[in-house]
Structure 1
Amino acid sequence: MALSFKAAAARLHTVPDLPYNPRSGVAPLFSPAALKTIYTDHQAGLIDRLNELIAGTPYEDKLYHEVIMDSARSLNEVQIFNNASQAWNNDFFLQSLSASPSSMSDALAKRISDSFGSIEVFKREFATNALGLFGSGWTWLVEDKDGRLMLLNTYNAGSPHHRRRMQRADETATDHDFASQAQNPYSGASKFSAPAKLMANNSYVPILCVSMWEHAYLTDYGVTLEGRKKYLKNFFETVDWSVVDGRVFRAGGF
C-alpha cells in the first residue's frame, strides 16, 4: 500500500499508481469517467490539500502513516487527519480492485467462513452494513487483536487504525436508535459488527473496504437503493482477493 508504509519520508506526498490503468476504468465496477472522479480528481485533491496543510510543520518530514496516527491523537489537527485518512482509505479501496481479479484462496475462504458462517453470509452482511450507512463513509472487513474477522462502519474520513478517529455512529447512538435499527434491514447493524468499545490503544487491522461516499457510485449507479445494491454486487466481482490475502496480519493470519 504505497500511501501507508513507504520506506522513506517525503516532503511532498504524491498519489500512488494503481495496479490498472485509471483511464480504462475497472470493469465491472467503474467506468473511466467514474474512476476519473474518484482517483484523478478526488485523490489528487486530497493529497494536494494535505501537502498545503503540513508544509512548514513537523508533519512535513513524517512518513504517511505517522501523519495519520500523530494527527489522530491531536484534536487541533483535524484537517490534517481528515485529508490524510481519507486519501489512505481511498487508496486502500482502489488498490483492492482488478478488472481480472484473483479468486479467493482456500485459506482466506476458510477464515471468512469460520467467522461469518459462509462466504455468502459474509457478502450479505457486508452489503447490509454498507447500505445502512446514512451519509458518506466506509464499510470495512477488519481483524482484531485476537485475529477475529468482523465488520466495521466508519463515517467521513473515519479510520480503523485509531480508536479516537473511527467516527463510529454507534458510539453516540441511543437505545431508541438501536431499536429502530432492528426494524431496518439496511441499518448497518449486524451481529458481526466490531464492538464500539475498545481499549485506548487498540485498533483494527483493515483487510478490505468499500467507499460509500456518493462520488464513488453516483456517476455509474445513481442515488437509488437499487443502484447502490448493484454497485456493491459489482464491487465483489472486482475485488482482487490475492491483495486481500496479503493483508491478514495478526494472530489469526496464515
Structure 2
Amino acid sequence: MFRSALRLHKSIASPLAASFRAKARLHTVPSLPYTVEAGVTPLLSPAALKIIYSDHQTGLINRLNELIAGSPYEDKLFYEVLMDSASSLNETQIFNNASQAWNNDFFLRSLSSTPSAMSDALAKRIADSFGSVEVFKREFKTNALGLFGSGWTWLVEDKEGRLVLLNTYNAGSPHHRRRMQRNDETATDHDFASQAQNPYSGVSKYSAPAKLMANNSYVPILCISMWEHAYLTDYGVTLEGRKQYLENFFKTVDWSLVENRVFRASGF
C-alpha cells in the first residue's frame, strides 16, 4: 500500500508545493479556499486566521526567500527545497521555514466552514486502524493535548498501509525521518514513566513507533497546528481552551479532502 517517495510527493503534497511548479526566484503564499475575513467557523475567527495565514505564513515564506537567495536552492521547486534541506544538517533554517510553511498550509487547507461529512468508506478505513471513528478522534485529541510546547499532531499512513498518529515538534515533518523532531527519539525510561502518569501524554497504542528505523517515512493525511499562535487568540492558554480548540477542529475538517488523501495514499 505504501507508495514510493516520488509518488508520495506528487500525490499528497499540498497546493503549497503544487503552486511552485514554475521555477522562480521568489516563492509566494498560495490563496486558501476561503477568505481571511470570513474565518473558519467555529474553529478560527478572522483575527486568528489573520495571524496564522496573513502574518505567520507570509513571514515564513519571506524569510525562506531571504535564506535561499543566491544559493543552490534559489531555483528549486518548493518541495525540493523542503526535502533537500531536510537531508542536510547544515540547512536547518531553510528546512524550518519551508517545513513550517508546508505544515501550516496542509492544516489550513483541511478546513471548511461548510465541511463535507465523513463517508462510510472513510469511516470504515479509519475503523480498520483504530477500531472506530470515535476512538480515532479521542486518541487524536489526547495526542494533541500531550504536546508540551509547539508542534503538530498528524494522522499519517505508515509503510504497511496502517493509519497511525504522530506528534512532531516545532517544524517537524512526517516526510523525512531525520526531521520529524520527535521527543521520543531521545526519551529516557524516566521520561516514559512520567508520560505513563499523564493522561495527555501523547503516548497511545495508535501512535507511530517510538523508535524509527532508517527507512521509516509517513504519508500525511490530516494535521492540526498546536502552535500557541494558532489557538491563543480564540481559546487562551488553558487546558480547557485547547480542548475546545480540538473539538471545533473536528467540526471544520473537510472529510472529502481527507478521503481523497487516504485513498490516494493507499491505492484503494
Query: TM-score normalised to the size of structure 1?
Result: 0.97
| Mapped contact 1:207–1:247 kept (Cα < 8 A) | yes
Distance 1:238 1:93 in 2: 11
| SS class of match (1:244) | helix
Amino acid at match of 1:32: P
Bigger Cα displacement from structure 2, 125-134 vs 170-179: 170-179
Post-superposition offset of 1:197: 3.0
Distance 1:198 1:181 in 2: 19
* Residues 45-104 of structure 1 deviation map (CA, whole Å, 9 limit, x = unaligned): 000000000011111111111111100111110000000000000000000000000011
* Residues 190-245 of structure 1 deviation map (CA, whole Å, 9 limit, x = unaligned): 11000133332431000000000000000000000000000000000000011111
* Residues 101-136 of structure 1 deviation map (CA, whole Å, 9 limit, x = unaligned): 001121111111111111111000000000000000
* Residues 143-173 of structure 1 deviation map (CA, whole Å, 9 limit, x = unaligned): 0112110000000000000000000010011
- How large is the Cα RMSD of the aligned pairs? 1.2
Q: Is 1:154–2:171 an aligned residue pair? A: no
| Mapped contact 1:162–1:201 kept (Cα < 8 A) | no
Amino acid at match of 1:4: A
Unaligned runs of at least 5 residues, structure 2: 1-13
Distance 1:144 1:9 in 2: 32
Choose the corresponding residue for 1:96, options 106, 110, 113. 110
Amino acid at match of 1:248: V
| Mapped contact 2:219–2:265 kept (Cα < 8 A) | no
Q: Is 1:15–2:40 an aligned residue pair? A: no
| Mapped contact 1:143–1:250 kept (Cα < 8 A) | no
Choose the corresponding residue for 1:44, options 30, 43, 58. 58
| SS class of match (1:151) | strand
Amino acid at match of 2:169: Y
Residues 9 and 248 (structure 1), Cα distance of their counterparts in 2 relative to 1, 3 Å cut: farther
Q: Is 1:230–2:230 an aligned residue pair? A: no
Distance 1:60 1:193 in 2: 37
Distance 2:22 2:158 in 1: 28
**Equivalent runs, 1:197-208 vs 2, <5 Å:** 197-208=211-222
| SS class of match (1:62) | coil
| Mapped contact 1:146–1:251 kept (Cα < 8 A) | no
Structure 1 equivalent of residue 16 of structure 2: 3
| SS class of match (1:61) | coil
Distance 1:105 1:11 in 2: 42
* Identical-residue share of aligned pairs (%): 83
| Mapped contact 1:147–1:250 kept (Cα < 8 A) | no
Residues 164 and 172 (structure 1), Cα distance of their counterparts in 2 relative to 1, 3 Å cut: same
Distance 2:252 2:171 in 1: 23
Distance 1:160 1:251 in 2: 14
Structure 1 equivalent of residue 191 of structure 2: 177
Distance 2:204 2:170 in 1: 20
Q: Is 1:128–2:145 an aligned residue pair? A: no
Structure 1 equivalent of residue 125 of structure 2: 111
Choose the corresponding residue for 2:41, options 27, 40, 47. 27
| SS class of match (1:247) | helix
User: How many residue pairs align between the two structures?
Assistant: 254
| Mapped contact 2:115–2:255 kept (Cα < 8 A) | yes
Distance 1:74 1:117 in 2: 39
| SS class of match (1:24) | coil
Structure 1 equivalent of residue 11 of structure 2: none
Post-superposition offset of 1:249: 5.3
| Mapped contact 2:157–2:265 kept (Cα < 8 A) | no
Distance 1:199 1:174 in 2: 18
Amino acid at match of 2:188: T
Distance 2:127 2:263 in 1: 17
